[in-house]
Amino acid sequence: MEPKKAKLVACVGIGCLLVLLVIVFSRVEPSKDFLTVAAIGLAVVLVITLWLLVHYIILNRRRTSALHRLSNEGQELRFQYSFFRKVAGLPTKFSLKELDAATDNFQALIGRGGSGAVFKGILDNGTPVAVKRIEGAEYGEKEFRAEISAIASVQHVNLVRLLGYCLVPGGGPCFLVYEFIENGSLDGWIFSSAREHRARRGQCLPWPLRYQVAIDVARALAYLHHDCRARVLHLDIKPENILLDTGFRGVVADFGLSKLMSRDQSRIVASVRGTRGYLAPEWLLGSGISERSDIYSYGMVLLELVGGRRNVRVVDPTADAEQRKWSYFPKIVMEKAREGRVMEVVDERLERVDERQVTTMVNVALWCIQEQPELRPSMARVFDMLEGRLAVGAPPETEMIVVDLLSIMDEDQTSAAATSSSCSTFGPRNEASVGGQSEGPHATYSSYSAMSQLSGR
Ligand SMILES: Nc1ncnc2c1ncn2[C@@H]1O[C@H](COP(=O)(O)OP(=O)(O)OP(=O)(O)O)[C@@H](O)[C@H]1O
C-alpha cells in the first residue's frame, strides 16, 4: 500500500476508534453484551490502526532512504560527467551573465572578423579568454554547431582551444569562448597595412619565427587531415586565422567554416566558402573539394610569409576600376624561382634570412598552390619537407589561372563566375590587400584577362 493511502486509512481507523469510545461512554448503563461487542470492535480497530501506522512509518523511511540514495547517485553521476568533460576537454556551457562578468560587459575589443567581434575577458578562475560574439546573420546555427563540433573533437598544441560557448535563447546572439592567444593574428605581424602592425610601430616577425610558424601550421593541418578519426577540413586558412602565442608559435583558429570528411571520401561538394585570395581553383570550378583545398590556402599563406605582402595587390590605386592593374605575387615568385633569384622576393624588412630555408619554403608553397589538387603534396609531406626530412623537388610550372583576381572584382561578377553556389562567407574580407605599392609590370594582369582565362577552361 502507498504511504498516502496508509496514512488515510490510519486516520479513518483513529476516527472510528474515537466514535466507538464516544458511543461507549455516552451510555449510562451499557449491557454486558454491548460491552463485549464494543471491546472486540475497539480491539479490531486498534490493531488495524496500529498495523497501518507501523506500515506507514516503515514505508516512509524506505522512501526517504531511496530518495537519498538516488540523489547521491545523481550527484556522483554529475561529478563523473563533469570530470569526463574536463578530461576530454569538452567545452563548457556559459551563461550570458558569466560572459558579461568575464568581459566586463564586452569592453575590451580585440578584433573583428566577418562573423562578429572578439573581446578579451577573464574567467572566474583567472583564465584569460577571447570571447567571440557572433553577429552576422550568415553565421547561422549551422556554422556555430560546425565550429563547436569540429574544434571540440580535436586537441592539438597548434590548434586554439574552445573553452566554452553560450547560446542566448530566443534567437539572441551566440558566443564562443576560446583560450586567449597573447600575440594576436599573423597578419598584424607580417603586413605593414594591418592595423595591429601599425600599432606596434612597424615591428615585424623575424625570419626564424616565420619559418617556425609555417612548421606549426603544417603540423596542425597534418593532424587535422591525417590523425583525426574523421578528416577535418579547415577551409579558411589565412593569416587572420593563425594566432601567435607568447612564444610566437603558430596556433590555428576559427573553425566556423570547417567540414568533416570521412576517410573513404576523396572529395566533397560544398557551397563556396573561405576567403578571397586563398580559395583553391576547385572551389570555383565546382569539381568538389578535399583536404587539398586547405593545402592550397596554406601555400598562399607561405608566400605571404616570405614576401610580407598580400598575394593580390592593386598596382595603380588611382586608376578607374576597369583600367586597374593587379599584381599577383605567386606569379612573381614563380618567375624569380625559375631564374634562381628567389631572395629577391623576400620581405625587404627582414634581416639575417636563411637562403636555404627561403628556397625550401618557396618551393613547398609552389607545390601547394598547384592548380591540380592531386599534384599538391599532403600536409604530412609538407611538414616533413619544412623540417628537412624530405627533399623538395623543383615544382612544376603551373598555369596559375589567376582565380584570386576574381576576388577583387565586385560581388555580382564574382558570384556569376563562380558557379551558382551560394557564397555565404565570400564577403569583402580581403579589402586590405587592395591598394598596395607597385610591382614589376611583368606580373600584372587586368581583372578581365583573369576572367577570360578562367572562363576559357
Ligand atoms: N583566441 C584568440 N586570442 C586572441 N585573439 C584572438 C583570438 N581569436 C580571435 N582573435 C583576434 O580577433 C580577430 C578576429 O577574429 P575572428 O576569428 O572573428 O575573425 P577573422 O578570422 O578575421 O574573420 P572571419 O571570422 O571572418 O574568418 C583575429 O584576427 C584575432 O586578431
Q: Is the ipTM of this complex over 0.90?
A: yes
DSSP per-residue codes, 48-61: HHHHHHHHHHHHHH
pLDDT in tens, 131-179: 999 876 556 677 677 777 777 778 899 999 989 999 887 777 889 999 9
The answer to whether domain 90-180 has CATH 3.30.200.20 is yes
Domain spanning 183-438, CATH architecture: Orthogonal Bundle (1.10)
Q: Please report the atom of ligand 1 found closest to the CA of residue 187.
A: 29
Query: What radius of gyration, in Å, describes the C-alpha atoms of the chain?
Result: 35
Sign of CA dihedral 311, 401, 282, 404: positive
Task: Establish whether residue 241 lines the binding site of ligand 1, counting it when its CB lies within 6 angstroms of any ligand atom.
Answer: yes
Task: Establish whether residue 147 lines the binding site of ligand 1, counting it when its CB lies within 6 angstroms of any ligand atom.
Answer: no
Q: How far is the CA of 240 from the centre of ligand 1 (A)?
A: 6
- Going by alpha carbons, the residue nearest to atom 5 of ligand 1 is 184
Grid cell 547561422 is found at 140
Q: Which of 347, 343, 341, 370 is nearest to 358 (CA)?
A: 343
CA distance 275 to 236: 6
Task: Establish whether residue 110 lines the binding site of ligand 1, counting it when its CB lies within 6 angstroms of any ligand atom.
Answer: yes
Q: How far is the CA of 347 from the centre of ligand 1 (A)?
A: 24
Cβ neighbours of residue 447 under 8 Å, at least 6 residues apart? Answer: 324, 326, 405, 406, 408, 409
Cβ neighbours of residue 378 under 8 Å, at least 6 residues apart? Answer: 222, 225, 226, 291, 295
β strands within 353-456, DSSP E:
444-446
pLDDT in tens, 308-327: 999 988 888 788 877 778 88
| Grid coordinates of 113 | 572578423
CB 270 within 8 A of CB 290: no
97 is in an annotated binding site: no
Q: Please report the atom of ligand 1 found closest to the CA of residue 256.
A: 25
CA distance 450 to 453: 5
Q: How far is CA 406 from CA 111, 234, 240, in A?
A: 27, 22, 20
pLDDT tier, 420 (very low <50, low <70, confident <90, very high otherwise)? very low
pLDDT in tens, 75-132: 776 666 666 666 566 788 899 999 999 999 999 999 888 778 999 999 999 999 999 9
Q: How far is the CA of 181 from the centre of ligand 1 (A)?
A: 10
Residue 104, classed as helix, strand or coil, is: coil
- Going by alpha carbons, the residue nearest to atom 18 of ligand 1 is 113
CA distance 118 to 133: 6
CA distance 21 to 238: 94
Domain map (residue ranges) of the chain: 3-88, 90-180, 183-438
Q: Which of 247, 231, 351, 250 is nearest to 302 (CA)?
A: 250
What count of other Cβ atoms lies within 10 Å of the Cβ of residue 288? 15
CA distance 407 to 448: 12
Indicate which residues carry an active-site annotation.
236
Q: One-letter amino acid identity for 45?
A: V
Give the torsion through C-alpha atoms of 199, 204, 209, 211, to 10 deg: 120
Give the strands of the sheet with 116-122, arranged side by side. Answer: 92-93, 162-167, 174-179, 128-134, 116-122, 109-112
Full-model pTM: 0.74
pLDDT score recorded for residue 373? 93
Domain 90-180 matches domain 183-438 at the CATH topology level: no
Task: Establish whether residue 114 lines the binding site of ligand 1, counting it when its CB lies within 6 angstroms of any ligand atom.
Answer: yes
pLDDT score recorded for residue 184? 92
Task: Establish whether residue 181 lines the binding site of ligand 1, counting it when its CB lies within 6 angstroms of any ligand atom.
Answer: yes
- In this structure, the strands spanning 325-328 and 250-252 are unpaired
